[in-house]
Amino acid sequence: MYRLLAGINLAGMVAVLFYRVTNIPHDTLSLKLLWAAMTLSELWFVLYWIINQAVRWDPIYRSTFKDRLSLRFEEELPGVDAFVCTADPWKEPPLLVIGTVLSLMAYDYPPEKLSVYLSDDGGSDLTLYALLEASAYSKHWLPFCRKFKIEPRSPAAFFSTNPDPPLTSSQEWSTMKSLYDGMANRIEGAVSLGRVPPEIREEHQRLFSDWNPATNSRDHPAILKILIGGGDSKAVDNNGWPLPTLVYLAREKRPGYAHNFKAGAMNALLRVSSEISSAPIILNVDCDMYSNDSQSVRDALCFFMDEKTGRQVAFVQFPQRFNNVTKNDIYDTSILIYNGVNAHGFDRFEGTAYVGSGCFHRREILMGRKYSDDFKGDLNGRIWRKPLENLDILEERGKFVASCASEENTMWGTEMGLIYGSPVEDVITGLAIQCRGWRSVNFNPKRAAFIGVAPATLNDTLIQRKRWCEGTFQIFLSRYCPFVYGKGKISLGLQMCYSIYALWAPNSLPALYYAFAPSLCLLHDISLFPKISAPWSIPFLYVSISTYVYNLVEVLLLGGTFKIWWNGQRMWMIRRVTSYFFAFLDSMLKLVGMGEMKFTVTSKVVDADATARYENEIMEFGIASPMFIVMTTVAVHNLVCLTALVFKVVVNGIKVLDALFFQATLCGFIVLLSLPIYEAAFLRTDKGRLPTSVAFISVALTLAISFLALR
């Protein structure tokens, strides 16, 4: 049914383009230029729509049978190393980080085969202190999880979703909650004071000996602390079960060395873990993305250990889900369409994208191995842990491979580990792995495997999307362009799938033209579309209506609502004139050597007032961002043009709409989408409103544009 709809849509789009090239106006040069730009914009939309068909043409959906895995391989399950990355204790609170760590330690998996590594790129002793508290709490928490088979296994998430103790275990529940509250209070107290309690520092001198007053996040030696495991044979929980290995790492940072952001942190973890546990399977998650299903590690192994196709699988990617998305998803942060549709379409071409969190990898493939037909891929029976060694020796060896000098004159960042040079190191690494002959798997279970925290302000949302957009566009402009680097290595369908996101940035140009030119022409009664009474209006009407109706149906089928769809349309417009446009500009500047790569950590902390507004689905602006100026100018410009049109209709009658119907509809649609922007700019008085300076500049720009157009 979809293929039939797509065929009809394509016919309608071809008809629109045919109208453009056969009805070029001959009035003035300026009108010809307007018409030509309109034609090029619509041609781009058609080409981009065709590329988008790759993910919708034949999606596939997978399921696993974990009971069969247990029956056949329970005694031979491979070791798993879980990597958690954090970068800033103020934007990513330590209590949030250890919730993720504890959820991974509590996996339903043999604990002696599980190791959890925390990479702290902030180099903060507060994060280590939180991890120390978590290591002590795990001795109580893991037996509790095993006994009652609870989900989720992040303490904060569990107690927030189960606020009242169950009748069958009220005493144990209350004890565990009390222990957690005590730990949380101690951690938050230390963070608020900005220092580790002196008695803790005195008691654990070995752990905190590497910090001194001169230590800072950008200049410090490698710090490696094995809190559980290594040569410690006493690492057991309260029931006598072994505890998973737990390791803290702050890789060396020096001003003269590029640290390569998250990719550098992941590569340091790869080297350090090779010295300690060297598990054949690696899981990486962001610090705010706790495990929501203790069985997800077994789900991943169902693909890796499958006899027919498992040896070809490089990584298994689970979707990112978020627990703080508002009822109507005001910022469109749930990535509903990607998780529900696009990722499954990627998977059809045996190459779903690596999206940086919630992903299980084969270690040897991350280390640069190319696929060959003789690769066995056996995981059962593999050595999953190195022999126990002296703790100090292990730590010293790990510090050496976490030093800045350890990567000099090596293939790290090019042929080994995650690839350097892109803000989206995950996407480019996944593409490179697939071009080496490996396949990947997307698995979207009914119960979310991982749940994280989505940005709760518009500015954070746009900055995050700008980073994704800029990174993928830079991939397209580099030697890793899917159509160049992937030629002959991956299928054309997979090249198209990657290009959907790699071409986000240039999408901003036709979107901006559509946001300004048609409405601007209303001031001069210039029509850029056929009359609504003419037969040529039919393909324009059909393409517009079918596109929006299908998108609405798609959202509804994925469990969304009309308001979720409407908010998605608003964010579609906002992102294209802000995040995508600025990502395009920055990419062009970098291309000519006038910019450098930056990585901004999205804050997971929002003040109480902003949180209240977010929960009430009131858009949060609050700062004078250049992106807000462009967005507000688009909104005010279309409001001015629509007001001028209404005045003309009042004076000259409804007949003026015959030639201007499509432009009036487009202008009115943008105005409706922009209602929260007008409210924030001119009506609201709270701290989350648009700053007066933004509103003033936007109005001034709108008046200048209108004046020039009238001249």
Q: Which of 142, 153, 152 is nearest to 240 (CA)?
A: 142
- pLDDT of 386 reads 52
Mean pLDDT, range 306-327, rounded to an integer: 94
- Cα separation, 517 vs 633, whole angstroms: 13
Q: Quick count: other Cβ atoms within 10 Å of Cβ 299?
A: 22
Stated as kind and residue range, the H or E segment containing 228 is strand 223-228
DSSP 77-139: PPPEEEEEEE--TTTS-HHHHHHHHHHHHT-SS-GGGEEEEEEETT--HHHHHHHHHHHHHHH
Contact 289, 358 (CB under 8 A): yes
State the pLDDT confidence band at 302, using cuts at 50, 70 and 90.
very high
The token duo for 171 is 């005493």
Mean pLDDT, range 441-467, rounded to an integer: 95
Q: Which of 213, 218, 226, 227 is nearest to 404 (CA)?
A: 218
- pLDDT of 216 reads 86
pLDDT digits (tens, 9 = 90+) for 632-673: 999 999 999 999 999 999 998 899 899 999 999 999 999 999
Residue 565 has pLDDT above 50, yes or no: yes
- pLDDT of 382 reads 47
Residue 707 has pLDDT above 90, yes or no: no
Which of 286, 426, 460, 586 does the annotation list as catalytic? 426
Alpha helices in 389-457 (DSSP H): 391-401, 425-435
DSSP 487-543: TTTS-HHHHHHHHHHHTTGGGHHHHHHHHHHHHHHHTTT---S--TTSTTHHHHHHH
- pLDDT of 607 reads 82
The token duo for 281 is 């399977």
- pLDDT of 487 reads 95
Residue 359 has pLDDT above 60, yes or no: yes
pLDDT digits (tens, 9 = 90+) for 257-286: 888 999 999 999 999 999 999 999 999 999
Torsion of Cα atoms, 446 then 452 then 458 then 463, to 10°: -110
- pLDDT of 194 reads 92
- pLDDT of 597 reads 60
SS3 450: strand
- Cα separation, 175 vs 171, whole angstroms: 6
pLDDT digits (tens, 9 = 90+) for 47-90: 999 999 999 989 999 999 999 999 999 989 999 999 999 998 98
- Cα separation, 384 vs 401, whole angstroms: 20
| Percent of the chain scoring above 70 in pLDDT | 96
- pLDDT of 595 reads 67
Contact 54, 493 (CB under 8 A): yes
- Cα separation, 198 vs 204, whole angstroms: 10
Q: Please give the domain boundaries of the chain with CATH numbers for all domains.
A: 2-56+504-710 (no CATH), 79-372+396-458 (3.90.550.10)
- pLDDT of 600 reads 63
Residue 40 has pLDDT above 80, yes or no: yes
- pLDDT of 605 reads 66
Please confirm, yes or no, whether 460 is among the known catalytic residues: no
Q: Letter for the amino acid at 545?
A: I
- pLDDT of 599 reads 57
Residue 154 has pLDDT above 80, yes or no: yes
Please confirm, yes or no, whether 210 is among the known catalytic residues: no
Contact 250, 220 (CB under 8 A): yes
Contact 451, 292 (CB under 8 A): yes
Which of 121, 125, 210, 288 does the annotation list as catalytic? 121
Residue 167 has pLDDT above 70, yes or no: no
Higher pLDDT, 234 or 203: 203
- pLDDT of 388 reads 54
- Cα separation, 697 vs 406, whole angstroms: 50
Of 3-7, 329-333, 560-564, 597-601, which gets the smallest average pLDDT?
597-601
Average pLDDT of the residues of the chain: 93
Q: What is the pTM of this model?
A: 0.93
State the pLDDT confidence band at 233, using cuts at 50, 70 and 90.
low
